Structure 1
Amino acid sequence: MKEFQEIIQSYEFAKSENLSVALATVVQVDGSAYRRPGARMLVTQEGNLTGAISGGCLEGDALRKAQTVIFQQKSMLVTYDTTDEDDQKFGVGLGCNGIIHVLIEPIDLSHPENPIELIKKALEKREVSLLISVFSVANSKSEQVGTILLSQGQNQFGDYTRVHEEFLPTLQSEIKYFDASQNQIKSFPDSLGQFSVFFELVKPTVRVLLFGAGNDTQPVAKLSEILGMELILIDGRKNLASPTRFPQAKKIIQGHAEEVIDQIETDIYTVALLMTHNFEYEVIILEKLLTCLIPYIGILGPKKKTEKLIERLESKGIQVSTDNFYAPIGLEIGAETSEEIALSIFAEIKAVLNKKQPIFLRESRSNSRKRLMKTGLIILAAGSSSRLGRPKQLIEIQGVNLIEKAITETQKSQVEALVVVLGWNPELIKTGFEPDQIPFVINENWEQGMASSMQTGLQFLIQNENPDQVILMLCDQPFVDAPLLNQLISEKEKSGKGIVACSYSNTLGVPAIFDQKYFEDMLSLKGSEGAKKVIVKNISDVFALDFPLGAVDLDTEADLDRLKNWKL
């Protein structure tokens, strides 16, 4: 986000001076690299650089390429292969081991929807936007389509005129149904011109609500500016909460706690830091924050103080959930000075927002050498589809029946062991896939409820495959695909949680992945009890993966009719 802000600032200056500029964007990385897709660098005709696309290795060559782009006014795709042992060709030892594709585009300063204007528009509202860049590795020597579109809520900005007409319907459909929680790069077949698309999520700037204007919070304000965060300072002491002392603050709210609470604006990209050293003030503020959906509330002071804050609120009949409380505030790094404490606070905020478990990177590297966890998957397909009146497992959508689609997506994923659980009329359901090639089990007690079907599948995997973790999925969630299954696996590894469950329609459910330590809980379920009971019981060890389309179920003919126009 800081890089975006600096690039926009340099762009505005270039625009005021009528200086030609080009924008370099990392759009794809194969292997390891210092920067990931989305890294950017603005280059002026005079050779000034803002931002970075590497650790300093590629900038010199990219500068020369960008100046060529400015002169020719044609975009290009540059590929840097740092896996080449002769890495001296760029003038330095790169020290990386990846292939980096960089899109370089000339910026038309007069165009109201050029790439940088699209980025500016993305940052105007506090909502997630989708930025679209189209490129072709296969045709890298040709002029590139480039960064063409911003999708923000129900609105779209930019234009499709540079998109190949055969590829346009596919691109529009991909944008319409994009629901991932992270950036994606997708490639499309030769018949569509061998295009790749970088789907980049542009999230709002992190907003920091800093309660407290004492001297110890000034390093917090300074560090928030360095990190490109939006600082809102709140304090009742007007002589301390001033622009002179806190020039980094976008807004300063002065007043008693009762006066300021109605002026507080929050969202899921907002964090709150209680650092007033005023217990009564913070009781009132914390009561307000409990009604806000924010991921992080940091409280300065010993645990005893936080316990007293909670006791005071509970004495008023207020139910206090501490899931987003971080008290004492900060990571344990041995911090003593206010500057060191500020560092520990923002390190913790970064870890929480990125859903990371803080560790030494050297330990992370050693962990990567360990045996990969074996993943099993259970496809639950035992039901009779009584509401629909016909077996949903065999319903064909776009030429593929649901049980076959579920199996195919599993086979395309990183899952190593699969079992399909059948129940009602198994001989009929087996006509929907190849039972001599796909492991399946029959749950004779399927009418007793989901628990027995899940346990039948889990027992089969334990006995035959000994998995470290298992994914549960239903065959009638048509939007579950291999990338989602892979994301469940990767998010479990990255988050350090024992369960990763999909989040949709204000609930958590399947598909979900469970660590081996929860197998006993799963095997103890009864009747209609499903995986959700295990998820709720162990909610503190659950990572929620956004998957809005998980809510799409197929129980009625009306559900099927609505699905006809969707792209799977």
Structure 2
Amino acid sequence: MKELKAIINAYDHLNPEKTKAAIATVVRVEGSSYRRTGARMLVMDDGVWIGGISGGCLEGDALKRARLAMAKSQPSLVTYDTTEDDQHQIGVGLGCNGVIDVLLTPLEIGNPNNPVEILKSCMTERRQTHILLTIIGLEDEYNDLRAGNMVRYTGPESLSVFGDRDLQQNIEKTIHNFTQKGRSRPATFGLADGRELEIFIEILPPEVHLVLMGHQYDVLPLARLVKEIGWRATVVANPQKIMQKLSSVADAIVTPAEFDSILIDEHTAIILMSHDFKTDKYNLPKVLKTAAAYVGMLGPRVRSEKIFDELAQEGIEISETDMERIHAPVGLDIGAISPEEIALSIVAEIRAVFSDRTGAALRLRTTPIHERD
């Protein structure tokens, strides 16, 4: 999400009278690759680019091809095959051992239907998961649609642009299947005239949101790390008690009395880190009423268990489902000591939980790092 925001910011500062631009998007990955589907790079005709589609091995070649696409005002789909044992093959030096398809789309700057404008509209709306359909394979045109066009899916009615009920139903069914798995990938559909339509179906969830409930000095390194990786940080504390530096790092600072005004969804993690037993005990039942998928509690296990016991004695039982959401002590076991290391431990565990991973060392993993088709 941080990269996407940087691309949109750079795009907003382009002068269409002086600069041409294109967007490069990874739309298919077979095998291993440093970046996955949905990775993007904004390319300008002066050779500057923002973002990335690989670990650095493909960007130079993609820049040349993107500038050619700009000159022709036509999108192109480029395949990089790094599985071949050929020293002249782009990407072999990285040892990717995969096949990557990259769509290069020239941008008509300011056109509300260009891909970056559509992405920008998604970023400015209320937090939700967006579904984007990009045509990556189509001979000639179909119902005024062509390769490079992006359609924002907002429901079955938004598929009317395809003009074919059977095609729309097939796309709708595929979107549902992909959404259930939370994966972005291409799909091919047959047209009534015998041609094939290939669409990159992208599932774009909102940025991860951390709600940090506390005002002590260890909130600052955690908020800083959250900002660095492109997540959103909201601090719940008395504004008069927080460090001045925190105001420039956090996306929002909310008083405890305004907690209910925070938009909390299944992409939100809440950390209880007030360092005050009574405060964390008071806040726990309140945060468990939200949709947050992750609730972390700072401090040793005995402290958390004492909070659970006292709440039970007061008639506030914590269900098994809620206990699965609670991570106490919060963080992964990496031997963290300093506030900065503890912040790293917490963020790493949140990423693992939201990715449905264990947080174990990759060298112990017996299957590919990323799920493959």
Q: Considering the TM-score relative to the shorter chain, is it more than 0.5? A: yes
Q: Counterparts of 1:285 and 1:113 in 2: how far apart (Å)?
A: 45
Per-residue Cα deviation, 1:169-208 (whole angstroms, up to 9, x for no partner): 4542244332132223212348542332111111111111
Residue 148 of structure 1: how far off its partner (Å): 1.6
Residue 78 of structure 1: how far off its partner (Å): 0.8
On the 8 A contact 1:213/1:276 being kept in 2, the answer is yes
Q: Counterparts of 1:273 and 1:3 in 2: how far apart (Å)?
A: 25
Residues 344-355 of structure 1 mapped to structure 2, 5 A cutoff: 344-355=345-356
The letter for the 1-side match of 2:309 is E
SS of match in other structure, 1:273: strand
State the TM-score, normalizing by the size of structure 1: 0.59
Q: Counterparts of 2:344 and 2:284 in 1: how far apart (Å)?
A: 23
Q: Counterparts of 1:155 and 1:194 in 2: how far apart (Å)?
A: 22
Over the matched positions of the two proteins, sequence identity in percent amounts to 36
Residue 357 of structure 1: how far off its partner (Å): 1.3
**In the alignment, what sits opposite 1:431?**
none
Residues 1:66 and 2:66 aligned together = yes
Larger radius of gyration: 1
The one of 110, 130, 152 equivalent to 2:154 is 152
Q: Counterparts of 1:339 and 1:263 in 2: how far apart (Å)?
A: 29
On the 8 A contact 1:303/1:327 being kept in 2, the answer is yes
**In the alignment, what sits opposite 1:286?**
284
Q: Counterparts of 2:346 and 2:306 in 1: how far apart (Å)?
A: 22
Residue 93 of structure 1: how far off its partner (Å): 2.0
Residues 1:264 and 2:262 aligned together = yes
Q: Counterparts of 2:332 and 2:91 in 1: how far apart (Å)?
A: 40
Structure 2 residues without counterparts, runs of 5 or longer: none
The letter for the 1-side match of 2:363 is R
Q: 1:148 to 1:262 in 2, by over 3 A?
A: closer
Aligned length: 356
Residue 213 of structure 1: how far off its partner (Å): 2.4
Runs of 4+ in 1 over 6 A off after TM superposition: none
The letter for the 2-side match of 1:227 is I
Residue 229 of structure 1: how far off its partner (Å): 0.8
The letter for the 1-side match of 2:344 is L
SS of match in other structure, 1:134: strand
Q: 1:224 to 1:156 in 2, by over 3 A?
A: farther
Residue 92 of structure 1: how far off its partner (Å): 6.4
Structure 1 residues without counterparts, runs of 5 or longer: 370-489, 492-568
Residue 339 of structure 1: how far off its partner (Å): 0.8
Q: Counterparts of 2:349 and 2:17 in 1: how far apart (Å)?
A: 41
The letter for the 2-side match of 1:234 is V
**In the alignment, what sits opposite 2:100?**
100
Q: Counterparts of 2:155 and 2:266 in 1: how far apart (Å)?
A: 16
The letter for the 1-side match of 2:218 is D
The letter for the 1-side match of 2:6 is E
Residues 321-470 of structure 1 mapped to structure 2, 5 A cutoff: 321=319, 322-364=323-365, 367-368=366-367
Residue 154 of structure 1: how far off its partner (Å): 7.0
**In the alignment, what sits opposite 1:224?**
226
On the 8 A contact 1:26/1:101 being kept in 2, the answer is yes
The letter for the 1-side match of 2:262 is I
Residue 305 of structure 1: how far off its partner (Å): 1.4
The one of 296, 299, 304 equivalent to 2:297 is 299
The letter for the 1-side match of 2:301 is K
Q: 1:154 to 1:236 in 2, by over 3 A?
A: farther
Q: Counterparts of 1:16 and 1:73 in 2: how far apart (Å)?
A: 14
Q: 1:318 to 1:248 in 2, by over 3 A?
A: same
The one of 210, 234, 238 equivalent to 1:236 is 238
Residue 117 of structure 1: how far off its partner (Å): 1.4
The letter for the 1-side match of 2:114 is N
Q: 1:16 to 1:69 in 2, by over 3 A?
A: closer
Q: Counterparts of 2:157 and 2:10 in 1: how far apart (Å)?
A: 27
Residues 1:317 and 2:315 aligned together = yes
On the 8 A contact 2:7/2:41 being kept in 1, the answer is yes
SS of match in other structure, 1:298: strand
Q: 1:276 to 1:334 in 2, by over 3 A?
A: same
On the 8 A contact 1:77/1:144 being kept in 2, the answer is no
The letter for the 2-side match of 1:116 is V
Q: Counterparts of 2:128 and 2:344 in 1: how far apart (Å)?
A: 27
On the 8 A contact 1:23/1:42 being kept in 2, the answer is yes
The one of 163, 172, 176 equivalent to 1:176 is 172
Residue 241 of structure 1: how far off its partner (Å): 5.2
**In the alignment, what sits opposite 2:271?**
273
